[in-house]
């Protein structure tokens, strides 16, 4: 149980393209999902918290207009990197937590999306 | 503010031996959770083990155990009987504000045959 699916797993595109990444909880409902960014050989950095039916909460330094998040249902959150440029190239990974808001519930992660902007 | 520190950027261990990966944390919140995740080269994050701040006993999950020393604010991961498939990045993380996770810098574990 508690499977999170992320799609696509790898994207290569030209500079200026907008890229949409989907994150789905397959066997549970998630009112909250999280989007992380990971540079090579570095840790995961939280970008934003995606809240179902409301606006996402962005971490300091993350451009809201650059990284659009939509959480339209209890099983789907999307991250759109708008007008992507080479510096946006990174590994993006989403997570969701099953169950209630208890702290003992682990976040379950998608397999991540490798984004390469040429 | 919450902070997680992993002081070992890389470690080697001989196959079948035990290894300890260090993790220290800092928080002013009396209630928190500590997690360990494994990230193979393929990138996915695999949940390994959880320890709650109020848990009296150290958590164990198969070959994984968490050496929780609350006074020292440490939550080291112990992997017993290392296997080649254990080679990966390992991240310690702490939950805060009920939902969110902050991660340490990670430790790359390499198991030698």
Which single residue is written with the structure tokens 């207009």? A65
Calpha distance B15→B62 (Å, rounded): 17
- pLDDT for A81-116, tens place per residue? 999 999 999 999 999 977 655 556 788 999 999 999
Does A101 contact B98 at a Cβ distance shorter than 8 Å? yes
Grade residue A77 by pLDDT with cuts at 50, 70 and 90.
Answer: very high
Give the pLDDT score at A102: 56
> Measured between CB atoms, which of B42, B52, B91 is closest to A103?
B52
- What integer best gives the mean pLDDT of chain B? 94
> Measured between CB atoms, which of B43, B52, B106 is closest to A104?
B52
- pLDDT for B44-76, tens place per residue? 999 999 999 999 899 999 999 999 999 999 999
Tell me which residues of chain B have a C-beta less than 8 Å from any C-beta of chain A.
31-33, 35, 37, 42-47, 50, 52, 91, 95, 98-106
What's the token pair of residue A8? 């696509």
Chain B nearest CA to A71, separation (Å): 16
Calpha distance B108→B3 (Å, rounded): 19
- pLDDT for A9-28, tens place per residue? 999 999 999 999 999 999 88
- Rounded to the nearest 5 degrees, what angle is found at the Cα of B6, between the Cα atoms of B1 and B12? 170
Identify the burial level of A101 via C-beta atoms within 10 angstroms of its C-beta, where 0-12 means exposed, 13-18 middle and 19 or more buried: exposed
């Amino acid at each position: 149980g508690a499977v999170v699916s992320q799609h696509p797993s790898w994207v290569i595109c030209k500079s200026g393209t907008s890229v949409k990444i989907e994150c789905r909880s397959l066997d549970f409902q998630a009112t909250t999902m999280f989007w992380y960014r990971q540079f090579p050989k570095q840790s995961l950095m939280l970008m934003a918290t995606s809240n179902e039916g409301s606006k996402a909460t962005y971490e300091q330094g993350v451009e809201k207009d650059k990284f659009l998040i939509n959480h339209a249902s209890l099983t789907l959150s999307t991250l759109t990197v708008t007008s992507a440029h080479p510096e946006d190239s990174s590994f993006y990974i989403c997570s969701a937590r099953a169950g209630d808001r208890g702290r003992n519930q682990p976040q379950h992660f998608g397999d991540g999306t490798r984004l390469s902007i040429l | 503010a919450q902070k997680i520190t992993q002081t070992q950027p890389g470690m080697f261990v001989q196959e079948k031996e035990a290894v300890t990966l260090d993790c220290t944390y800092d928080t002013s919140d009396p209630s928190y959770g500590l997690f360990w995740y494994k990230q193979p080269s393929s990138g996915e994050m695999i949940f390994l083990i959880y320890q709650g701040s109020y848990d009296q006993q150290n958590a164990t999950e198969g070959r994984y155990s968490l050496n929780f020393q609350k006074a020292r604010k440490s939550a080291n991961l112990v992997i017993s009987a290392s296997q080649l498939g254990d080679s990966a990045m390992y991240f310690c993380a702490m939950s805060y504000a009920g939902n969110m996770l902050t991660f340490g810098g990670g430790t790359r574990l390499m198991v030698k045959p």
